[in-house]
Amino acid sequence: MIKVSHLTKQFSGSTVVDDISFEVERGEIIGFLGPNGAGKTTTMRMLTGFLHPTRGSVKIAGVNVMENPLEARRHIGYMPESCPLYTDMRVNEYLKFRGQIKEVPRRALKQRIRVVKEQCGLTDVGRRIIGQLSKGYRQRVGLADSLLGDPDLLILDEPTAGLDPNQIREVRELIGRLAERHTLLLSTHILPEVEMACKRVLIIDKGKIVASDSPESLQKRLMGDSLISADIQGDASIIEPFLLSIDGVDKVSTEPQEDGWSRFLIDAAGPDIRSAIFKCAVGGGWKLRELHLESRSLEDLFVAITHGGASAEKKS
Amino acid sequence: MKSFLTLWRREFAALFLSPIAYVMMMFFLLVTGCGFYWLVKENLNLAHSIQGLVVVIWACMLIVIPILTMRSFAEERKNGTLETLLTSPVNDHTVVMAKFTGVLTFFLLMCAPTALYMQILCWIAPGTSAMIDPGALLGGYIMIAWIAAAFVALGILASALTSNQIIAAIITFSLMSILFFGGLFEPHLSKTPLVREIGGYVSSALHLMEASRGVFDTRSLVFYLSTTLFLLFATTKAVSARR
């Protein structure tokens, strides 16, 4: 569906997107992650043809975006960051205008507008002026607009930015429903969203793609070590060295609990060492009330990849 | 063609959705109305008054056109709507043409009521209708349309070059002023004959005076047509270059 090869964009000398290549198959749901200023929006703008790349090429559904921009754009439904709309128009007017621009056949247009309005929960606000709508509703109008042409590919740049938790949930559910019918490329800062919806994650940092895999296998690949949390009763300063002496333990940090217990967070490489921790507690005669393997979230992964890169660069 | 008409309709309608259009219309009709009243009252020769009217309309362009055109690209760029527009399946030149014709249609529509002034004059003083030369009047209006086309194209170009509406308006105003005053003071422009000749050639004031006298000069029509086409071409390039 998308084929990006050696895509580079330079703005007055500085390289914002640096020689990235990736492919997206039809029906995939891709989470596009990266810190602010990493080049996500620029990449998305190049995919939609809004910006021309300095080097490299983008093919959407087999059509080169630079050589045949109009045909490529017919396959794309795009919602830019912050969802710009003509705030002086009414919702119905706006959707009609956008439908006409997107070459929805005149006869089908009314029906199409009705369908996208239903999909996006806009049925009751059709006659309202866009400028008077709440941010959540505007976001829905933007989504409805991107769906009008029934595109194969939906590119959504931070669709949940600036929304309250309820609105985020609504938009997320809507995106979940859309994912059944469209190929989806989604950039966001809300990582649980990606974890829930996306089959594959692309992480971009400083204009380069630093990771591209499913969230689970990324976790496995990049987080080979495990994090174990153990609640033990006793003097933390005595217990800590014992825990550190266990084979495979890299780091132990302590969080004192209010009831005299201490929570130890143990970073360990290699196999599961929970039984060794249990033995250690029994050996020392300390009470143990909780022992479990913390699951690493995509957030940890994101921080590890993007921050790790930053610190590595500083060191060099 | 279909997307052009859709975009043109949006551009034209958008002007009516903002208060600026109504304020501009009121300003324009007030100035031209008062101007014409004064010209008729003070002038014995009606032909001079008609010439005077087209010059007043032209002078109003200096304020009206920069304000009408400043928003076309600059506002869309600032609000981000240019991104949704330029990622739709429409060509850059279709967008430019739609914006150009949208503003031009609005301006010409704004000029239309001034044609009624003659009717009102004939109604008040029935004897004057014989003194009006319809050819000269028509010539004056056609020349206004040509000049407006070139100036609107200039305004659209300025708007495509910046995301600040005020800067766009000032650029348009400045360039129009050069043509305005350059032409108006053509005899005092320079001692060099070449400069004076160029000044006379580009002077829209002189073109209007000639046209509203009934003189049909193809040189000025070619000048405005080629200027308009060149500026629209430059605008399309400016929009593409900022991609």
Residue type present at position A26: R
Determine which of A11, A94, A100 to mutate to test the interface with B (most B C-beta atoms within 10 Å): A100
pLDDT score for A293: 80
Tokens of A269: 């490489």
Task: Supply the pLDDT for residue A167.
Answer: 77
What local confidence, expressed as pLDDT, does residue B145 receive?
Answer: 92
What is the overall mean pLDDT for chain A? 85
Count of pairs with CB atoms under 8 A, one residue in A, one in B: 63
Distances (CA, A) of B65 to B5, B73, B115, B155: 22, 14, 20, 7
B20: Cβ contacts below 8 Å, ≥ 6 apart? B67, B68, B71
pLDDT of A43 higher than 70:
yes
- What span, in angstroms and rounded, lies between the C-alpha atoms of B11 and B99? 6
B89 closest CB neighbour out of A50, A81, A102? A102
Least confident of A105-119, A198-212, B189-203, B224-238: B189-203
Average pLDDT over residues A42-48: 92
* Record: contact B81-A88, CB cut-off 8 A: no
* Interchain contact, B89 vs A103, CB within 8 Å: yes
Among the partner-chain residues A52, A71, A80, the one whose CB lies closest to the CB of B84 is: A80
Instruction: Give pLDDT, residue A236.
Output: 84
Q: What is the pLDDT of residues B97-150, one digit of tens each?
A: 999 999 999 999 999 988 888 888 888 877 777 777 788 888 888 889 999 999
pTM more than 0.90: no
Are A77 and A182 within 8 A, CB to CB? Answer: yes
Please determine, for residue A162, whether its predicted confidence score (pLDDT) is greater than 80: no
How large is the average pLDDT for residues A81-107? 92
| CB spacing of A101 vs B87 below 8 angstroms | no
pLDDT value at residue A81: 86
Q: Do B83 and A45 touch (CB under 8 A)?
A: yes
Over range A89-115, report the average pLDDT.
93
Q: Is A274 or A300 the better-scoring residue by pLDDT? A: A274
What chain B residue is nearest to A145 in terms of C-alpha separation? B84
Is residue A314 pLDDT above 50, yes or no?
Answer: no
Residue the block writes with tokens 């509406």: B165
User: Which two three-digit tokens encode residue A191?
Assistant: 């990582």
- Partners of A103 on chain B (C-beta within 8 Å) are 2-3, 89
**Burial track B108-139 (b if 16+ CB lie within 10 A, e otherwise):** eebbeebeebbeebeeeeeeeeeebeeebbeb
Q: Which residue has the higher pLDDT, A6 or A198?
A: A6
- Average pLDDT (A125-134) is 92
The CA angle B84-B90-B95, to the nearest 5 degrees, is 85
Query: Strands A287-294, A29-33: parallel, antiparallel or unpaired by DSSP?
Result: unpaired
pLDDT digits (tens, 9 = 90+) for B47-99: 777 778 888 888 899 999 999 999 999 999 999 999 999 999 999 999 999 99
**B86/A84 Cβ within 8 A:** no
d(CA B148, CA B130): 29
- Give A96-102 contacts, CB < 8 A, sequence gap 24+: A97/B6, A97/B10, A98/A145, A98/A148, A98/B84, A98/B88, A99/A148, A99/A149, A100/B2, A100/B3, A100/B6, A101/B3, A101/B6, A101/B7, A101/B85, A101/B88, A101/B89, A101/B90, A102/A74, A102/A148, A102/A149, A102/B88, A102/B89
* Burial (0-12, 13-18, 19+ Cβ within 10 Å), B53: buried
Average pLDDT in the B198-219 region? 79
Tell me what pLDDT residue A311 has: 42
Chain A segment 124-163 residues within 8 A of B by beta carbon are: 145
Beta strands in A169-286 (DSSP E): 183-187, 200-205, 208-213, 226-233, 249-256, 261-268
What's residue B69's pLDDT?
Answer: 94
- Mark yes or no for CB contact A98/B87 under 8 Å: no
DSSP A195: H
**Angle subtended at Cα B60 by Cα B54 and Cα B66, rounded to the nearest 5 degrees:** 135
**From A82, which residue of chain B is nearest by alpha-carbon distance?**
B80
List, for residues A237-258, the tens digit of each pLDDT value.
888 888 888 887 888 888 888 7
| CB proximity A47 to B under 8 Å | no
Mean pLDDT of chain B: 87
Give me the pLDDT at residue B183, please.
65
Residue A310 has pLDDT above 80, yes or no: no
Query: Looking at residues A120-134, what average pLDDT do you find?
Result: 91
pLDDT(A286) > 50:
yes
Q: Report the pLDDT value the prediction gives residue B53, as an integer from 0 to 100.
A: 83
Report whether pLDDT(B166) > 60: yes
What's the average model confidence in pLDDT over A253-282? Answer: 84
Q: Which uninterrupted H or E stretch holds B59?
A: helix B46-69
- Establish if A22 touches chain B: CB-CB under 8 angstroms: no
Percent of chain B, pLDDT > 70? 96
Give the confidence band of A276 by pLDDT, cuts at 50, 70, 90. Answer: confident
Q: Chain B residue with minimal CA distance to A74?
A: B89
Partners of residue B79 in chain A, C-beta under 8 Å: 84, 87
| Yes or no, beta carbons of A84 and B80 under 8 Å apart | yes
Q: Does B16 touch chain A (CB under 8 A)?
A: no
Q: How far apart are the first and last CA of chain A?
A: 38
Mutate: best of A86, A90, A93, partner B, most B CBs <10 A:
A86
What pLDDT score does A315 carry?
Answer: 37
Q: How many residues does chain B have?
A: 243
Residue A200, strand partner residues: A30
**The complex's ipTM?**
0.86
The shortest C-alpha distance from A311 to chain B (Å) reads: 34
Q: Phi/psi of residue A15, each to 5°? A: -90, 115
**DSSP-derived 3-state class of residue A267:** strand
Whether chain B has a CB inside 8 Å of the CB on A90: the answer is no
Q: Which of A289-293, A312-316, B101-105 has the highest mean pLDDT?
A: B101-105
Residue A316 has pLDDT above 60, yes or no: no
| Chain B residues inside the 8 Å CB shell of A50 | 83, 86-87, 243
Residue A202, SS3 per DSSP: strand
Q: Which site among B9, B82, B84 would you substitute to test the A interface, given the most A Cβ atoms closer than 10 Å to its Cβ?
A: B84
What lies within 8 Å, CB to CB, of B202 at 6+ separation is B179, B182, B183, B223
Q: What is the tens place of the pLDDT at every residue in B37-47?
A: 888 888 767 77
Please give the structure tokens belonging to residue A17.
Answer: 């997107």
What's the rounded mean pLDDT across residues A184-213? 82
